[in-house]
Amino acid sequence: MADVKAGVEYKINVNSNLFLLDNKKYQLLQSILDYGSLTKAAKEIKVSYRTALNYIEKMEMALDVKIVNTTKGGKGGGGGTSLTDDGYSILKECKKINAIMELHKDVNEIEAEIVDVNLEKGVMTIKMNQFEINAPLNRNYELGDKILALISYDNIFLMLEPQSSSIRNVLKGQIVEMRLKNEIIRVKIDVGGVVLCSDITVSAEKELNLNIGSEVYVGFKAMSVATLKL
């Protein structure tokens, strides 16, 4: 099977002017902020000065804002390049997206079928084997559609007993694996023939007294389930 990878582009909207900022241009803005020099920033992202300048010019033209300020130095140097307020705002928005993506980069992938649609509540029920959960209703889907459900590891909570809360999906399962990774314990739980992963802290593991073979309840909100049609 081919090694498939997907890249990311940031859709920047400034006063209704749109520009798709790829990772290279994002890194250029970050390097300008770090080094205060377009020359050093270009070297950092491994492009020529002319290419880096062309990146900036394209962004400024498309968005109709000034992204960087350049000052010339005297004989002793002292010149440099810095981000304008608009340039910094663009970089900040990209960094926010990065932080969210990093937080949710590990996801459970579940291939399931839509078995019920509740228009009044705005939810649909999806099922795989004995695993059945609620997810936000997508009106482009129909009964019987095959979909892929995505649930971030950190959106899955572990409980010893089911509790009354806003969590819509609460399912009983059994722990089949526990592994420590960077001060976080990755717990695998068999729930109705589907294995879900949940990341918990070491203190939470001790508080719940979890072990392989323990029966637990997993809980997650319907809104935390992202779906796409297969």
192, 174 Cβ separation under 8 angstroms: no
The sign one gets for the Cα dihedral 217, 221, 226, 230 is positive
**pTM of the complete model beyond 0.75:** no
Quickly count: other Cβ atoms within 10 Å of residue 153's Cβ: 19
Print burial letters for 65-79: b (CB count within 10 Å at least 16), e (below 16).
bebbeeeeeeeeeee
Q: How many Cα atoms occupy the beta-carbon half-sphere of 15 within 13 Å?
A: 7
**What pLDDT shows up at residue 184?**
92
Stated as kind and residue range, the H or E segment containing 56 is helix 49-63
pLDDT digits (tens, 9 = 90+) for 99-123: 877 766 789 999 999 999 999 989 9
pLDDT digits (tens, 9 = 90+) for 178-189: 999 888 999 999
**What pLDDT shows up at residue 74?**
46
**What pLDDT shows up at residue 105?**
76
